[in-house]
Structure 1
Amino acid sequence: MKVFFDARQLGHAPTTYFRRGAAMPHQEQPQRAEILRDMLLANDFAITAPADNGLDPIKAVHNPDYVDFLPDAHARFVESAGPDALAIPTMHPGLRRGKEPKDIHGQLGWWMTDTSTPLTAGTWDAAYWSAQSAISAADAVAQDARASYALCRPPGHHAMRDCANGFCFFNNACIAAERLRKTYGKVALIDVDVHTGNGSLDILYARGDIFFVSLHPDPATYPTFYLGHADETGEGEGEGASLNILLEQGASQDDVLAALDRALEAIRGFGAEALVVSLGFDMAADDPLAAVQVYPEGFAEMARRLAALDLPTVLVQEGGYLGPSLADNARSFLTSFREATR
């Protein structure tokens, strides 16, 4: 299994964000990727630096104006607000009627939906190379690799077409799926991060060529809220090509595996020719953002069931935070998937 990661992905280093009305330490830390990288090296995974495929594959998924906003946004914010201010939006356009402003503070609110994506000096390079890792992983599969893994950090599945959200700037999984469409007629994207793949749902909702399925607790009562309800099944050409499988908060490992089986049955019914997995280890029972109860052996079984689809597969890292079992969960899933796809 080919693995892609670039050290520049460690450069995004947020310290705090606002959650439930209070400032708290940011969960999406560079150390997450360092733990996963070290686990990979300790288990004989060769890590390859991604190729630089430029902005076109990113702009194929995201609003080009949003992409162009990001490279110098942090520098512009610091120039306006000073080096000690937190680069998050403090005003929003409501229902998005209106026009993008020119002022950096207004632009932050235009292009970001929440306070979880503060910009830092290294954010642009990290987000850019995270996307490039996903693109290279997709290219490896399109060139006949059975499977690949993109150690994407920052993650991506909450990023919508034209805004950052939920720790995410570019939707790496959708970028990979779009890249695979150059080779395969039908692609499936399954999201097994504990949170709704709301960004992927936003991007793919009207498409019939990429089937999207997400396993997550009910968004009526659990972040990221708003999107991911069971009755959201797609629209237009995408009608029937989106599937949200809701879990109870506190769901057991067996419950999660049963939901996964439903998702896999739907992917088979779609006739997918290639697969992208939004892989979140925050399904873990001891994850700092835990909502369900999956353990290392459960991640291994998830890997075996996904591999049994027997599809060219790109694994794209999403959540999984600094809980005690992060390395164990990643080892269980990735070594099991590697063994099942040899």
Structure 2
Amino acid sequence: MKTFYAEEQKRHDPKAFLSMGMQKPNPEQPERVERLLAGSRAAGSTIHRPASYGLTPIAAVHTPEYIEFLTHIFERWQRMEGASAEVIPNVHPFARNGSYPAGAAGQAGYHMADTACPISAETFDSACWSAWSAVAATEAVMSGEPAAYALCRPPGHHAFADVAGGFCFFNNSAIAAQRLRATASRVAILDVDLHHGNGTQGIFYARPDVLTVSLHADPSRFYPFFWGHADERGEATGLGYNLNLPLARKSGDTEFLEALGHAVSRIRAFAPDALVVALGLDAFEGDPFGGLSVTTSGFARIAEAIAQLRLPTVIVQEGGYLCDALGDNLTAFLTGFSGAN
């Protein structure tokens, strides 16, 4: 299986975020890339640099207003007297009802859901290369590869069409799915990250051509809190095209695989032409977030179950944070997926 990754993705290096009111080191660190590259190579994958695809595939998912904001916000932020080294909002709109602030501070609050996605001088470029890695993997699958892996960092599934959040800026999984729609009449996105893919759900919530399915820790007391509940089924023509399968905290392989069985059944009923897997490795029992208890061998079994769908598949990296087994977990997944095909 081919892996797509660009070295520019390491340049984004966020320093801090707020958690339970406390400033803590940001866990979305460049070192994640080295661990994931090692895991990919151990699975026998070859590393390929993506091309620069410009803004066209990104703009197919994200609004021009938001792209313009991300392009210029760091420079604008630095012109404010007393501004922090990174763009971090301190105010958010209670409702986004059409009014739009003119200043950098107001726009940061408008376009950034939380404090976990600080923007530095390198963020926009890194986010573009992350998205282009997803596009390159998608192009490989559209050209006949049965599957390809996009090592996307920063990740993407918490990014809405015009909002960053949860370490995410451009929604790489959504960009891949939209790209696949050029040749696929229907596309399914299966998100197996510890956290609900709220941005992905939001982007496709009213659409019947992209089925969104997410397995994740129950958001009642876990990020992203406001999305990811079982009664969220889509809206308008997209009603019935979103499935959330929240899991009790600390659920392990057995519970995850049981829920995955329901996810696979729903995907089969949708009869898609292609699949995007939003691969979070943070469901691991030793991940710093500690929400679920999937084992390394469990990731292999998860991959084997997904591979049984026999669909052209783009695997897009989402979460999975620094721990000794991060690379091993990716190796287990990629090996399990390839071995089952």
- Band the TM-score falls in, shorter-chain normalisation: over 0.9
Task: Answer with 7-16 or 94-103: which moved more.
Answer: 94-103
Q: Give the structure 2 partner of residue 148 of structure 1.
A: 148
Deviation of 1:340 after TM superposition, in Å, equals 2.5
Deviations 1:219-276 (A, max 9, x none): 2211111111111111111110000011011112100010011100100011111100
Q: In 1, Cα distance between the equivalents of 2:320 and 2:253?
A: 16
The structure-2 alpha-carbon separation of the partners of 1:233 and 1:84, relative to structure 1 and needing over 3 Å to count, comes to closer
- Alpha carbons 1:6, 1:49 under 8 Å: kept: yes
Q: Give the structure 2 partner of residue 183 of structure 1.
A: 183
Deviation of 1:218 after TM superposition, in Å, equals 2.0
Q: Give the structure 1 partner of residue 233 of structure 2.
A: 233
Q: Give the structure 1 partner of residue 68 of structure 2.
A: 68
Q: In 2, Cα distance between the equivalents of 1:239 and 1:125?
A: 36
Quote the sequence identity (%).
47
Q: Give the structure 2 partner of residue 196 of structure 1.
A: 196
- Alpha carbons 2:196, 2:214 under 8 Å: kept: yes
Q: Give the structure 2 partner of residue 335 of structure 1.
A: 335
Q: Give the structure 1 partner of residue 224 of structure 2.
A: 224
Moved over 4 A (4+): 81-84
Q: In 1, Cα distance between the equivalents of 2:219 and 2:28?
A: 21
| Letter of the structure 2 residue corresponding to residue 120 of structure 1 | S
Q: Give the structure 1 partner of residue 261 of structure 2.
A: 261
| Letter of the structure 2 residue corresponding to residue 141 of structure 1 | V
Q: Give the structure 1 partner of residue 323 of structure 2.
A: 323
Q: Give the structure 1 partner of residue 25 of structure 2.
A: 25
Q: Give the structure 1 partner of residue 287 of structure 2.
A: 287
Structure 1 unaligned spans of 5+:
none
The structure-2 alpha-carbon separation of the partners of 1:306 and 1:43, relative to structure 1 and needing over 3 Å to count, comes to closer
SS at match of 2:301: helix
| Letter of the structure 1 residue corresponding to residue 32 of structure 2 | R
Q: Give the structure 2 partner of residue 160 of structure 1.
A: 160
- Alpha carbons 2:74, 2:86 under 8 Å: kept: no
Deviation of 1:37 after TM superposition, in Å, equals 1.2
Task: Answer with 142-151 or 46-55: which moved more.
Answer: 46-55
- Alpha carbons 1:253, 1:292 under 8 Å: kept: no
| Letter of the structure 2 residue corresponding to residue 180 of structure 1 | L
SS at match of 1:289: coil
- Alpha carbons 2:9, 2:129 under 8 Å: kept: yes
- Alpha carbons 2:85, 2:120 under 8 Å: kept: no
TM-score (norm. length: structure 2):
0.97
Q: In 1, Cα distance between the equivalents of 2:86 and 2:51?
A: 32
| Letter of the structure 2 residue corresponding to residue 142 of structure 1 | M
Paired residues in the alignment total 341
Deviation of 1:86 after TM superposition, in Å, equals 3.6
Q: Give the structure 1 partner of residue 36 of structure 2.
A: 36
Deviations 1:40-81 (A, max 9, x none): 234432111112211111111111110111122112212224
- Alpha carbons 2:39, 2:329 under 8 Å: kept: no
The structure-2 alpha-carbon separation of the partners of 1:50 and 1:102, relative to structure 1 and needing over 3 Å to count, comes to same
Q: In 2, Cα distance between the equivalents of 1:178 and 1:80?
A: 37
Deviations 1:4-58 (A, max 9, x none): 0000000110011111101000010010012111232344321111122111111
Say if 2:50 is the partner of 1:50.
yes
Q: In 2, Cα distance between the equivalents of 1:263 and 1:42?
A: 28
| Letter of the structure 2 residue corresponding to residue 307 of structure 1 | A
Deviation of 1:84 after TM superposition, in Å, equals 4.9
SS at match of 2:79: helix
SS at match of 2:220: coil
Task: Answer with 14-23 or 40-49: which moved more.
Answer: 40-49
SS at match of 1:145: coil
Deviation of 1:107 after TM superposition, in Å, equals 1.1
Q: Give the structure 2 partner of residue 97 of structure 1.
A: 97
Q: In 2, Cα distance between the equivalents of 1:88 and 1:16?
A: 10
SS at match of 2:118: coil
SS at match of 1:113: coil
Deviations 1:154-207 (A, max 9, x none): 000000111001110011000000000101111100000010110011001000
Q: In 1, Cα distance between the equivalents of 2:39 and 2:250?
A: 28
TM-score (norm. length: structure 1):
0.97
| Letter of the structure 2 residue corresponding to residue 181 of structure 1 | R
SS at match of 1:8: helix
SS at match of 2:309: coil
Structure 2 unaligned spans of 5+:
none
Q: In 2, Cα distance between the equivalents of 1:290 and 1:177?
A: 29
| Letter of the structure 2 residue corresponding to residue 138 of structure 1 | T
